C-alpha cells in the first residue's frame, strides 16, 4: 500500500511528466538559437575553375565551419570586366549577404565600393592595391612572386641564356603584368635577355614554342593557363625549334603539378590557395557579424621544383586533404 505521502509524490511526478511533455511539444524549453546561414557569392575572373581547386577546398571547409552557403560563379567570357560588374550587381539584387570577388579590374570594383554601388560586405582577392573600401582584402605580391621565380631560374640557367616570355596582351591582366615585370627585372639584371611573345589567341602557344631562337632558350609563362598549355605541347613532343632550357611559370593546378613531377615544367611559384579560399569566407562572415574593417592579409609565395613536391613544408599546401 502506498501511503499518503507516497501518493502525493506520485501525483507530483505525473504533473512533472505532463509539464515536461507540454514544454517539449510547444518549444517552451530554452534552446540555443540556430545560427543563420550566410549567403556568400564568389565571383572569379575566369570562365573555368581549373585554377581554383585548392581554393575551393579551403572555401568549402570554411563554409562548413562558419555556417555559410557559398555560390561559386564564373564568367561567360574570361577577363570581361563589364560582365563581372553585372554579376556583382545581380548577386547583390538576388539577396547575397556578402561577396568575394577576384576582380578583373580592381580599380573598377574599388570605385563601385567607394560610390556605394556595391553596398554589401565585399572581400577582394587580387594585388591588394585597391582594397581601402572593401570589407576584407587577401592579396599576393605578384611582383615579388615573379622575382622569386626568376631567382630560381637564374640558379639553373646557363650564363646569358635568353628567356622567351609568353604573355597575354599588355594591360589585360594586372596580376600577370606585375608577375612578369618582377621576373624580367631580375632576369635582365642577371644577364638573361627577355623577349616577350604576346599570345593573341590560343593557337599561338604552339607557334611560340616552335619559333626559332638564336640559341637555346628558356620559356617563362605569364599565367597558369599559358603554363599548362605550353606543358601539354611539350609533353606531346611538339618539336620546338632548338633545345628548351626549361619551362617556368606560376600556379598549382593538378595539371601543372603533374607536369612539374614529370619534368616537363622545371620550376613554379605558388601560394597557399587553400588558405586563400578559407580566409576569404572567414573575412566575409566576420564582416557580416561585426562592423569595422579587417587587417588585410598578404600571402607569401614560394618557388618550388620537382624535389620539393614531397617536402612536408609544401606537400600539405599543394595537396590539401578533402
Residue 215 pLDDT greater than 80, yes or no: no
DSSP 309: T
Number of Cβ within 10 Å of residue 177's Cβ equals: 19
Residue 134 pLDDT greater than 60, yes or no: yes
Residue 21 pLDDT greater than 70, yes or no: no
pLDDT of the residue at 25:
57
Residues 6+ apart with CB under 8 A from 104: 45, 75, 79, 80, 81, 84
pLDDT of the residue at 48:
84
Confidence label for 154 from pLDDT (cuts 50, 70 and 90): very high
Helix axes 174-189, 142-156, angle to 10 degrees: 40
Instruction: Give this prediction's pTM.
Output: 0.84
Residue 204 pLDDT greater than 90, yes or no: no
d(CA 181, CA 196): 11
pLDDT of the residue at 69:
96
pLDDT of the residue at 28:
47
pLDDT of the residue at 31:
52
Fold of 142-250: Rossmann fold (3.40.50)
Confidence label for 102 from pLDDT (cuts 50, 70 and 90): very high
pLDDT of the residue at 26:
54
Residue 285 pLDDT greater than 90, yes or no: yes
Residue 242 pLDDT greater than 60, yes or no: no
Strands 98-101 vs 38-43: parallel, antiparallel or unpaired: parallel
Lowest mean pLDDT across 20-24, 172-176, 198-202:
20-24
Confidence label for 62 from pLDDT (cuts 50, 70 and 90): very high
Residues 6+ apart with CB under 8 A from 316: none
Helix axes 273-289, 53-66, angle to 10 degrees: 30
Residue spans per domain, the chain: 38-140+272-301, 142-250
Confidence label for 33 from pLDDT (cuts 50, 70 and 90): low
Residue 17 pLDDT greater than 80, yes or no: no
Residue 294 pLDDT greater than 90, yes or no: no
Share of the chain above pLDDT 90, in %: 61
d(CA 278, CA 134): 17
pLDDT of the residue at 258:
95
Share of the chain above pLDDT 70, in %: 81
CB of 59 closer than 8 Å to CB of 70: yes
Fold of 38-140+272-301: Rossmann fold (3.40.50)
Q: Average of pLDDT values for 64-79?
A: 93
Residue 270 pLDDT greater than 50, yes or no: yes
pLDDT of the residue at 202:
57
Residue 172 pLDDT greater than 90, yes or no: no
Domains 38-140+272-301 and 142-250 share a fold: yes
Residue 228 pLDDT greater than 90, yes or no: yes
d(CA 281, CA 293): 15
Query: Strand order of the sheet with strand 301-304?
Result: 194-198, 163-167, 217-221, 244-250, 267-271, 301-304
Amino acid at each position: 500500500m502506498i501511503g499518503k505521502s507516497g501518493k502525493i509524490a506520485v501525483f507530483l511526478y505525473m504533473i512533472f511528466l505532463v509539464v515536461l511533455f507540454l514544454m517539449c511539444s510547444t518549444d517552451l524549453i530554452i534552446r540555443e538559437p540556430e545560427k543563420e546561414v550566410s549567403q556568400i557569392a564568389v565571383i572569379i575572373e575566369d570562365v573555368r575553375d581549373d585554377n581554383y581547386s585548392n581554393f575551393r577546398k579551403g572555401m568549402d571547409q570554411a563554409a562548413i565551419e562558419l555556417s555559410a552557403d557559398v555560390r561559386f560563379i564564373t564568367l561567360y567570357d574570361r577577363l570581361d570586366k563589364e560582365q563581372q560588374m553585372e554579376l556583382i550587381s545581380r548577386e547583390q539584387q538576388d539577396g547575397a549577404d556578402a561577396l568575394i570577388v577576384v576582380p578583373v579590374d580592381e580599380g573598377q570594383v574599388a570605385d563601385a565600393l567607394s560610390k556605394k554601388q556595391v553596398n554589401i560586405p565585399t572581400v577582394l582577392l587580387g594585388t591588394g592595391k585597391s582594397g581601402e573600401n572593401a570589407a576584407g582584402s587577401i592579396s599576393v605580391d605578384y611582383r615579388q612572386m615573379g622575382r622569386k621565380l626568376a631567382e630560381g631560374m637564374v640558379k639553373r640557367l646557363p650564363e646569358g641564356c635568353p628567356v622567351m616570355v609568353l604573355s597575354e596582351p599588355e594591360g589585360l591582366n594586372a596580376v600577370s603584368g606585375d608577375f612578369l615585370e618582377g621576373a624580367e627585372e631580375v632576369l635582365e639584371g642577371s644577364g638573361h635577355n627577355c623577349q616577350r611573345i604576346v599570345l593573341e589567341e590560343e593557337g599561338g602557344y604552339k607557334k611560340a614554342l616552335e619559333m626559332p631562337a638564336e640559341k637555346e632558350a628558356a620559356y617563362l609563362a605569364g599565367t597558369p593557363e599559358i603554363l599548362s598549355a605550353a606543358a601539354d605541347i611539350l609533353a606531346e613532343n611538339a618539336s620546338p625549334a632548338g633545345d628548351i632550357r626549361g619551362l617556368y611559370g606560376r600556379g598549382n593546378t593538378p595539371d601543372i603539378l603533374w607536369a612539374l613531377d614529370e619534368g616537363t615544367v622545371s620550376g613554379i611559384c605558388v601560394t597557399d590557395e587553400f588558405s586563400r579560399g578559407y580566409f576569404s569566407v572567414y573575412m566575409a562572415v566576420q564582416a557580416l557579424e561585426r562592423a569595422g574593417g579587417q587587417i588585410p592579409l598578404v600571402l607569401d609565395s614560394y618557388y618550388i621544383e620537382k624535389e620539393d613536391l614531397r617536402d612536408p613544408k609544401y606537400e600539405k599546401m599543394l595537396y590539401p586533404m578533402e
